[in-house]
A and B are shown apart, each in its own frame.
Chain A
Amino acid sequence: MERLPRGRHGLSPEFVALNQRERLFAALAESLYERGYEETTVAMIGKRAGVSKSDFYKRFESKDACFIAAYDDAVERIRRELLSACDGRRLWEDRMLSALAALLDFLVAEPARARLVLVEGLRAGKGVYDRYQEALQSFVPDLREGAPAPAGGSRPPEATDEAVVGGIASLLARRLLAGEMEPLGDFLPEIGEFALTPYLGAAEARRIISER
């Protein structure tokens, strides 16, 4: 993100604050991506964002506070992408596959934020885990809404919805941990089939995926 011009610029303080926050979030995610949480310092984040240490502390109490805020911001971005991808799609399976495609696009375009949410969320410990869990759980009702039952079967139990979300998150996190960024976009047919199977049956899920 571009720095704002120095000196008098006539920009409102709110605008500057928002811009600084966004720059700090991006800088934090990039530092974590490169160095990991422990090694990332406030000075490092500030330098990368072009924000002075004193300005950093005007916005956030600590590295932890910035981390949590950046985490929430990244989850919110993902949420927006997924919801807008589903917009106007009537069939549940279309919504599901569009959302997954949007998720993969986001992760490929934003590798630092991808790692922040999926890897650090579960592994950084203190305080973040609850955010990670909430983030995953927040997608469960969206998945459940309008979900069909396989032909001749009944609607899968609720734990299945959570297992589908958790299984996808786990696979993507493992790939991110292994540093395999590039092929992430190729996973759509695989995770799509995994996600549709409990609701449509394996054969129907496969048919839908192969037709796309």
Chain B
Amino acid sequence: MQGSAAIMDILGAMSPGSQPARAQRFTGPAQHELPREFVALHKRRRITDAIAELTAEQGYEATKIGDIVRRAGVARKTLYDNFEGKEEVFLTAFDAAAEDVIGRVEEVCAEAEGDWEERVEAGLSAFLAYVAEEPAQARMCMVEAMSATPAATRRYEDAVQFFVELTGRHVPHSDQLPETMEETLVGGVAWIVHQKIRRHEAEQAMDLLPELAEFMLAPYRSVAGVGRGRVNA
């Protein structure tokens, strides 16, 4: 009995966006007992996925606990066993998404072959690809987080700060450049992507790559002494 419920949970978790727990029920006798922690983790994941989807659709404020448990297909008690309330669900979802995108960007920057221009462009490209692939998560992090709660605003600022520092690690250094260059560049990129998401065009985020790469690289070229010319579209 417990085993079949656990499998249903996992099936639900494996197909995000589908109506969970409505699919065929397993009624057969032979069932695997899935480890408790595994089930609990997937339930948490379903709850955080649900809040990402719901805030993307209707905004943080309009999203109620009832909506979240319905979407996640879990009992209200399960949510409260795992989280203090809506804000903690949101912050947990934010952290998971931020960790995901930061991990991807950091990795491609580190692994990109070639010079600093290629590393920066690879990182930007990975960031835009994330936005295109995960529009709901992107909207949660870059639009909703800004106005959700003060703690969410701080999370957003911390994530921006991470990208500022990451950029700083990969671009050529020169005391000829303003100290705030990375901050204004990252802020500018964030603003363009933010607007793209608000216009429900997150899926086309990759279209921005040539323009934003040029925007980010141009200030550093003169100090890098490698006039490669414009980035190809």
Contacts and interface: CB of A to CB of B under 8 A. Distances in A.
Q: Do A and B come from one complex?
A: yes
Interface in B176-233: 176-181, 183-192, 194-195, 198, 208, 210-212, 214-215, 218-223, 230
Contact of A187 (B176, B180, B192, B222): B180
B223 A202 contact: yes
B147 A124 contact: yes
A189 B185 contact: no
Nearest to A187: B180
A130 to B, nearest CB: 9
B184 A123 contact: no
Contacts of B221: 202
- B contacts with A: majority SS: helix
A123 B61 contact: no
Given A126-B61, A153-B230, A157-B211, A166 B187 contact: yes
Interface in B137-177: 146-148, 150, 153, 157, 160, 176-177
Interface stretch (A17-25, A56-64, A71-79, A170-178): A170-178
Given A157-B211, A164-B188, A191-B180, A174 B146 contact: no
Interface stretch (A4-12, A27-35, A91-99, A192-200): A192-200
Contacts of B190: 166, 170
A124 to B, nearest CB: 6
A170 B160 CA distance: 10
A163 B178 contact: no
A56 B184 CA distance: 40
A70 to B, nearest CB: 18
- A contacts with B: majority SS: helix
A156 B187 contact: no
A177 B157 contact: yes
A123 B218 contact: no
Nearest to A195: B184
B230 A171 contact: no
A167 B184 contact: yes
Q: Give 9 nearest A-B pairs by CB, closest first.
A: A166-B191, A170-B187, A167-B188, A125-B147, A163-B188, A190-B178, A202-B222, A167-B184, A167-B187
Interface of B: 59, 61, 146-148, 150, 153, 157, 160, 176-181, 183-192, 194-195, 198, 208, 210-212, 214-215, 218-223, 230
23 contacts: A122-B147, A123-B146, A123-B153, A125-B61, A125-B146, A125-B147, A156-B211, A159-B212, A160-B211, A162-B195, A163-B192, A165-B191, A167-B184, A167-B186, A167-B189, A171-B183, A171-B187, A193-B178, A198-B215, A201-B218, A202-B218, A202-B221, A203-B222
Given A156-B211, A166-B192, 18 more contacts: A125-B59, A133-B198, A157-B210, A160-B215, A162-B188, A163-B188, A163-B191, A166-B191, A167-B185, A167-B191, A168-B187, A170-B160, A171-B187, A193-B178, A193-B219, A194-B185, A198-B218, A206-B176
